[in-house]
Structure 1
Amino acid sequence: MSSADVSRVTREANESPVVEWGARVGYAVLGVLHLVIAYLAVKIAWGIGSSGSQSADQSGALSTVAGSTTGPFLLWVAVVGFALLGLWNLTEGAISHGEATDRLKLAAKGVMYLFFAWTAFKVVALGTEGSSEKDTEDATQALMGSPAGQVLVGALGLVVLGIAGYHVYKGWKKKFLGDLTEHPGDWAVQAGRAGYVAKGVALVVVGVFFLVAAVQHDADKAQGLDGALKSLKDMTGGSVVLTVVALGIAAYGVYSFARARYARL
């Protein structure tokens, strides 16, 4: 197959109504998962139920959804939605004529959504819940064991901090409106603003954990979203702080529903 044929197939996949529909479903599923993560975070903040054994992250949200009456159906929808959202981002990155950094971001998002699809598939088809925190520690351990491992983990921490800062900037300046085809309404704008800032705050903590892991040469110090949120509870007034961040994450979930309708695809 020639490069022209590959380009044509890629563009056809990107512009397929099925892929576009699936991508919008993916954003809606992302909204549901953020609402569940916020719910779990509030439970952790106030010690409600068996909150200590629950993960306030993607794996915890998927496990919670799996335990509901319609859980299997919703998880299959998540598998399809995330897979097609990942495919759209990858094909958009491949055919886009934008700057290299924008194309790289699209590719990275595509890989991330495909990972989400695989995680959901493992839960619904294989009955494997998994642990995002363990995956984070294992990946950090593998990175730490490579040549210049401490430097690489430290660099990863700086990258996460950069992403965190961009989230805060994107939310505060309402730059996320550029991802939409039209104004979604003031409720969605305010939800998106609060959501991006809250996610940025959580990512700041994640980035700091990676830097600590690098300085102390200890992969166990690296934490994902769950560890970051739980660490907020240990602060002075931590229950209130974690609740505020959880509300922000819930707001991002609400914005994701608007994005499912108005996303620029």
Structure 2
Amino acid sequence: MALAKETLENAARCGYAARGIVYLLVGGLSLLAAIGAGGMSGGSTDALRELMNQPFGGVLLAVVAAGLLAFALWRLVEALSDADGHGTGAKGLAVRGAHLVSSALHFGLAAWAIQLSLGIGSSGGGDGAQDWTRWLLSQPFGPWLVAAAGIAVVVAGGAMLVRAWTAAFRKRLRCGRDEETWLIPLGRAGYAARGVTFLIVGALLVLAAWTHDPSAAKGLGGALQTLREQPYGWALLALVSAGLFAFGAFAIAQAFYRRIDPPEPRLNTRRLKTA
């Protein structure tokens, strides 16, 4: 049992590190684009595709993909076992539901990255947000479902901004005062930037539902591009990109300092009754 808990904890820590690498790439490339030094304002798949183009890119991408798979598994365990103790109240269930969605998204991203590293399937691909929005709009009550998804994303973005303001993530850290002096600002900047991107993504989903136009829906890359198109867009993009880079650094720090309490494995000790 102890070995199983230790293995799951190590997998979770590798997962946080892999997520951090993805955000470092997204934030760093977007920041370079904002200041006119190359780069690009894209999402997670764009960043991983850029990683694939580097020396030994296939190996690097495979390692990151394995970490993302571990993070997806940890999110699933968090959601089902309530490892972080969120409880079964409305707020707790909402957080655990968000973990389920995060698990599914990271499983999908990991699978895509593994295929890309092995040269299987297409390395191009369209906007995933537009693809699933198009499918959802074609279903009964589709616009209402898309609007509900958009509102949920907006609420999640607002929660991240609150987390940035209150530094509520502090209670999940296991570190001393010295580490907190740089961890807390990193986390605040990171959650604030993620909150802004979530607000944009959610608003665009609501717009897609209102107009019945799936092309209005955007993912992370689309949210960053939307920022760039605003007045003083380069400055807005640079600010948010720096925050996403900070979130990547914070996620890597979480791999070392986050409090992770895997659930105890349960064995079925009931004996089978014989006839």
TM-score bracket, shorter-length normalisation: 0.7 to 0.9
Name the structure 1 match of 2:187: 192
1:154 alignment partner AA: A
Distance 1:220 1:106 in 2: 27
Contact kept? 2:136, 2:146, Cα under 8 Å: yes
Distance 1:42 1:92 in 2: 32
Contact kept? 2:75, 2:99, Cα under 8 Å: yes
Structure of higher CA gyration radius: 2
- After TM superposition, give the deviation of residue 37 of structure 1 in Å: 0.7
**How large is the RMSD of aligned CA atoms in angstroms?**
2.1
Contact kept? 1:86, 1:110, Cα under 8 Å: yes
Q: Does residue 1:163 correspond to 2:156, yes or no?
A: yes
Name the structure 1 match of 2:123: 129
Name the structure 1 match of 2:46: 60
Name the structure 2 match of 1:120: 113
Distance 1:190 1:152 in 2: 36
SS of alignment partner, residue 127 of structure 2: helix
* CA spacing shift, 1:167–1:223, aligned 2, 3 Å: same
- After TM superposition, give the deviation of residue 56 of structure 1 in Å: 1.5
2:211 alignment partner AA: Q
Distance 2:80 2:221 in 1: 33
Contact kept? 1:150, 1:215, Cα under 8 Å: yes
SS of alignment partner, residue 150 of structure 2: helix
Structure 1: give runs of 5+ residues left out of the alignment. Answer: 1-11
SS of alignment partner, residue 16 of structure 1: helix
- After TM superposition, give the deviation of residue 40 of structure 1 in Å: 2.0
- After TM superposition, give the deviation of residue 84 of structure 1 in Å: 1.9
- After TM superposition, give the deviation of residue 240 of structure 1 in Å: 0.8
Name the structure 2 match of 1:8: none
Contact kept? 1:35, 1:253, Cα under 8 Å: yes
Name the structure 1 match of 2:204: 209
SS of alignment partner, residue 146 of structure 1: coil
Q: Does residue 1:37 correspond to 2:26, yes or no?
A: yes
Distance 1:207 1:103 in 2: 19
Distance 1:172 1:70 in 2: 40
2:100 alignment partner AA: A
| Higher relative contact order (CA closer than 8 Å, sequence separation 6+) | 2
- After TM superposition, give the deviation of residue 47 of structure 1 in Å: 4.3
Residues 200-235 of structure 1 deviation map (CA, whole Å, 9 limit, x = unaligned): 011111111111111111011111111110111111
2:218 alignment partner AA: Q
Name the structure 1 match of 2:145: 152
1:129 alignment partner AA: S
SS of alignment partner, residue 189 of structure 1: helix
Correspondence for 1:76 among 62, 71, 77: 62
Would you say how many aligned residue pairs link Structure 1 and Structure 2?
250
Contact kept? 1:14, 1:20, Cα under 8 Å: no
SS of alignment partner, residue 77 of structure 2: helix
Distance 1:139 1:130 in 2: 17
1:150 alignment partner AA: P
- After TM superposition, give the deviation of residue 59 of structure 1 in Å: 0.5
Which one has a larger percent helix, Structure 1 or Structure 2? 1
1:21 alignment partner AA: N
* CA spacing shift, 1:227–1:13, aligned 2, 3 Å: farther
Name the structure 2 match of 1:6: none
Distance 1:92 1:167 in 2: 18
Name the structure 2 match of 1:235: 230
Contact kept? 1:13, 1:91, Cα under 8 Å: no
- After TM superposition, give the deviation of residue 255 of structure 1 in Å: 0.6
Report 1:89-100 matches (<5 A): 89-96=75-82, 98-99=87-88, 100=93
- After TM superposition, give the deviation of residue 134 of structure 1 in Å: 1.9
